[in-house]
Each structure stands twice: as structure tokens, then as C-alpha cells.
């Protein structure tokens, strides 16, 4: 499912073109890591955003991203400007939250924002304290001709899963896509594993092993 | 240009399908009136929003909209719910502002929001007083799989003007599309005509006659 999510959001909404710049949050997560790797096969410049230096090193050294920025960096906005010198054409949003402030001013004319997940908002109150950023965001969408589109992957299995499966089988076979799982042992630890995932303590797809492999 | 704007935004971003419900603001304006009439040719239910009863009557009786709501109505949200009993599939935004609050909760899964104009925001400060509606709006985009897309028609002449011209010629000939101009006499009255347009005092495309017709 995470690979299919990455594939659909990137190809059907993001529509990457060679030499465009893509930014993806939760870059070493199950979705983000695949988004960036597929975008590389399309010739994009890929800038990941992840929590901490270790994840960022993994994104660059193991996943082949062009850059990966630590979202905890005190100079995050400047780091992003340096990593995306030609602006941002595709923002693949897995996180929402504070990094939005840095990404949005850098969106180029015709940019696509793929709203895949907003993990930082899931437990937030529905009304946040002001100022109200919505009017300025809508003006930005108009002036820069930006597309913002949300999706939920369960809608798309019937139409697209077979195409995805063929693409992904090829990429796994030819080595274009690597993946990593964060395994928690024992079903009794599921709740803690879920809480850790929400806090970003996992590294790769968070899975719980409930029985030995066969 | 207004007809081309209506055509591009509706067909290339809104992508109307038969039996969908479209809401268009500034419904008797140069863009809105054409949006609604094209949408009718695609079999949509068309709900206009305009300033005042006279414009609303014109939208229904002369333009053939299914309904048109007065944006000054004290019961506007309830009026909209009654006029769009199956929710909203396409919102063609020419205005922005307060009617956003009524439209957005009614957007259906898979809805498209065409950001064509935000006339109510053009003279607003970039930061409005809170609460901040942006996080909740992004969550809504995700949960309802909404697409929000801005465009500026000057980008699309080379690719689409000929197709538009052929479509519109046909519609004008077969009577599918009617139009109306609001003529101000004399170039010396241009500034006032422009201010009147921003306030919604025009009725149809605001034009200034600078010399007699030949």
C-alpha cells in the first residue's frame, strides 16, 4: 500500500517531468522513500525532508536523493532555499505543519502540491490560532497557478493497481527502488509502535511482527 | 478573453460531468455567466451566486441557471444547501471571501475548486485575523480528495485558443450561450467604471465605449 500510494500521488497528481525539483516530507518513510526514488527515475532533482541527521544521510546515501534536510534544523528555510535553487515544482506532503511555511513561498508557477498525509495535523484542533493564512494561500494558488490535490489510495485500486504492480516489479528488479522496514517484535507492542510512528521514531515502514516468518 | 477564461477553467480544471452540481460566483459577470451556460451544455446542475435579486433573476430566466442565490441573503448558507441538495462537485471561484465558508463544507468527495479570481481579496492585507483556517482546509482537501487549482488565462492562448474559438462559435450560433455587456460611455469615466466593477455595480462584462461603433 505505501508503494502504491507513492506511485499514484506522484505520477497521477504530481506528474513529474525531467529536471523539475520535487520536495518530499517524511522522506525516509514508507511512502516518502518511494516517492523520491520514483522521481529520480523520472529525472527530477529530489530534496527530502526528514527528522534528524541519520535519516537524512540514509536518504542521500542509500536512496539516492540529491539532498535531504533535517526538519529540526534552526536554519531550515535557508537550507531549503540552498537545496532547491530553482524553486519547487512538486511538493509531496506527508507531514504538513511548520515546513509548509518554508515550502509554499518557493513553489514555482505551475507547481503541484500532492496532499497525501498531514500527520502533524491529525491530532490538532480544527481551528488553529491566527493569523488566518487561508486568504493569502488562495491568492498564492491563483498567482502561481498552483494545483493542490488530496487523495486517498483506497479509491484507486480498481483502476490503477495492476499498472502500479507492473512498474514497481520492474523497479525492484532493476534496483531503482530500495526499501526499509522498521520492525517491532510482538503484537503486545503494537500500541507503542503506533505512537512512536506518529512521533517519527520509526525508520522505514513501521510494521509489527506477530509471528515468525515461514 | 472572459469567454476563454470560462471555457478553460471549467473544462480543463473543473472537468464537468453530467448530473454534477456546479456553483459559480459572480454568476452574471462576464466569466461566471459563460461558465454556467457551458456547464448546462454538459448536463450539470448550475447554481449561481450573485449580488442582489435582479442579477439572480437574470441568471435563472435569461441564462438558464437552475438556481441563483443572493450573496447578501441573511440565510445564504441555508439557501445554498437547499439549492445544492446533493452537495457541490465543482466550485468556480470568481470571488473568494465570505461565501467560501458556505461552499467548502458542501464540497463532495472528488470535488474540483477552480480558482479563477478572488476579487474580494485583491485589496485585503496578506495576513487576515485568525483563527487560522488553513490547517482545517488542508485536512478537508485530504479527506474529501479535493483538487484546488489556480490558473491565469494568458498562459493558455497558444495551446487552447483555437479549440475554444470553435466551441464558442458553435454555442453562440446555436443559442447555447447568451452574453451581456455593461457599457460605460466615455474614456473619462473609466476609473469610476473600474471601481464600480470591484464593488459589483456592473451587470455583465464591464466595458468602456471610447468611440462610436462603426
3-state secondary structure chain A: CHHHHHHHHHHHHHCCCCCCEEEEECCCCCCHHHHHHHHHHCCCEEEEEECCHHHHHHHHHCCCCCEEEECCCCCHHHHHHHHCCCCEEEEEECCCCCHHHHHHHHEEEEEEEEECCCCCCCCCCCCECCCECHHHHHHHHHHCCCEEEECCHHHHHHHHHHHHHHHHHHHHHHCCCCCCEEEEECHHHHHHHHHHHHCCCCCCEEEEECCCCC
Q: Is there a contact between A144 and A107 (Cβ–Cβ < 8 Å)?
A: yes
Chain B residues touching residue A137 (CB < 8 angstroms): 134, 137
Q: Does B127 touch chain A (CB under 8 A)?
A: yes
Q: What is the CA radius of gyration of chain A?
A: 17
**H/E stretch holding B49:** strand B45-50
d(CA B86, CA B17): 14
Which of A95, A111, A134 would best serve as a mutation to test chain B binding (most B beta carbons within 10 A)?
A134
- What pLDDT, on the 0 to 100 scale, is given for residue A125? 55
The alpha carbon of residue B127 is apart from the nearest alpha carbon of chain A, in Å, by 6
Burial class (CB in 10 A: 0-12, 13-18, 19+), A110: middle
What is the average per-residue pLDDT within A90-107?
89
Residue scoring higher pLDDT (B180 or B141): B141
Q: What is the mean pLDDT of chain B?
A: 91
Q: Are strands B67-70 and B45-50 parallel, antiparallel or unpaired?
A: parallel
B130 and A134: CB-CB below 8 Å?
A: no
d(CA B90, CA B19): 11
Q: How many CA atoms lie less than 13 Å away from B34 in the CB half-sphere?
A: 25
What is the average per-residue pLDDT within A177-200?
87
- What pLDDT, on the 0 to 100 scale, is given for residue B125? 56
What is the average per-residue pLDDT within B121-147?
83
Q: Confidence class of residue B95 from pLDDT cuts 50, 70 and 90?
A: confident
- What pLDDT, on the 0 to 100 scale, is given for residue B122? 63
Q: Confidence class of residue B51 from pLDDT cuts 50, 70 and 90?
A: very high
Kindly tell me if the per-residue pLDDT of A10 is higher than 60: yes
B134 and A131: CB-CB below 8 Å?
A: no
Minimum-distance CB partner of B135 among A121, A131, A148: A121
- What pLDDT, on the 0 to 100 scale, is given for residue B182? 85
d(CA A39, CA A41): 5
What is the average per-residue pLDDT within A7-27?
97
Residue scoring higher pLDDT (A37 or A94): A37
What is the average per-residue pLDDT within A34-51?
97
Give residues with Cβ within 8 angstroms of A130, minimum separation 6.
B128, B129, B130, B131, B132
What is the average per-residue pLDDT within A159-175?
95
Q: CA triplet B31, B32, B37: central angle to 5 degrees?
A: 105
- What pLDDT, on the 0 to 100 scale, is given for residue A199? 83
What is the average per-residue pLDDT within A151-165?
95
B128 and A127: CB-CB below 8 Å?
A: no
Chain B residues touching residue A136 (CB < 8 angstroms): 126-128
Helices A134-143 + B134-143 axis angle, to 10: 60
Nearest to B101 by CA among B137, B47, B53, B141: B137
Q: Confidence class of residue A206 from pLDDT cuts 50, 70 and 90?
A: confident
- What pLDDT, on the 0 to 100 scale, is given for residue A121? 66
Minimum-distance CB partner of B115 among A131, A141, A155: A141
Kindly tell me if the per-residue pLDDT of B200 is higher than 70: yes
Task: Report pTM.
Answer: 0.89
Edge to edge, the sheet with strand A67-70 lists A67-70, A45-50, A21-25, A88-93, A107-115, A147-150, B147-150, B107-115, B88-93, B21-25, B45-50, B67-70
The answer for B 133-152 residues in CB contact with A (under 8 A) is 133-139, 141-152
Q: Percent of chain B at pLDDT above 70?
A: 96
B128 and A134: CB-CB below 8 Å?
A: yes
Q: Confidence class of residue A126 from pLDDT cuts 50, 70 and 90?
A: low
Minimum-distance CB partner of B150 among A126, A145, A151: A145
Minimum-distance CB partner of A150 among B118, B131, B146: B146
B147 and A152: CB-CB below 8 Å?
A: no
pLDDT tens for residues B154-176?
999 999 999 999 999 999 999 89
pLDDT tens for residues B15-40?
999 999 999 999 998 899 999 999 99
The alpha carbon of residue A112 is apart from the nearest alpha carbon of chain B, in Å, by 9
Kindly tell me if the per-residue pLDDT of B60 is higher than 90: yes
What is the average per-residue pLDDT within A163-192?
91
Q: Does A118 touch chain B (CB under 8 A)?
A: yes
Q: Does A132 touch chain B (CB under 8 A)?
A: yes
Closest-CA residue of A relative to B98 is A135
Amino acid at each position: 500500500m505505501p508503494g502504491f500510494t507513492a506511485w499514484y500521488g506522484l505520477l497521477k497528481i504530481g506528474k513529474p517531468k525531467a529536471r523539475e525539483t520535487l520536495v518530499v516530507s517524511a522522506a525516509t518513510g514508507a511512502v516518502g522513500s518511494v516517492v523520491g526514488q520514483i522521481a529520480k527515475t523520472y529525472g527530477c532533482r529530489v530534496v527530502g525532508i526528514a527528522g534528524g541527521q541519520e535519516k537524512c544521510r540514509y536518504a542521500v546515501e542509500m536512496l539516492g536523493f540529491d539532498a535531504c534536510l533535517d526538519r529540526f534544523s534552526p536554519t531550515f528555510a535557508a537550507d531549503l532555499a540552498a537545496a532547491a535553487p530553482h524553486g519547487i515544482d512538486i511538493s509531496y506532503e506527508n507531514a504538513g505543519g511548520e515546513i509548509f511555511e518554508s515550502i509554499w513561498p518557493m513553489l514555482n508557477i505551475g507547481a503541484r502540491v500532492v496532499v497525501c498525509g498531514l500527520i502533524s495535523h491529525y491530532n490538532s484542533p480544527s481551528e488553529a490560532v491566527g493569523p488566518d493564512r487561508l486568504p493569502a494561500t488562495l491568492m498564492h494558488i491563483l498567482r502561481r497557478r498552483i494545483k493542490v490535490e488530496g487523495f486517498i489510495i483506497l479509491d484507486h485500486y480498481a483502476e490503477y493497481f495492476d499498472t502500479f504492480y507492473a512498474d514497481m516489479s520492474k523497479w525492484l528488479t532493476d534496483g531503482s527502488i530500495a526499501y526499509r522496514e522498521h520492525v517491532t517484535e510482538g503484537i503486545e507492542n503494537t500500541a507503542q509502535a503506533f505512537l512512536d510512528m506518529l512521533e517519527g521514531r520509526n525508520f522505514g515502514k513501521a510494521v509489527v511482527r506477530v509471528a515468525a516468518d515461514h
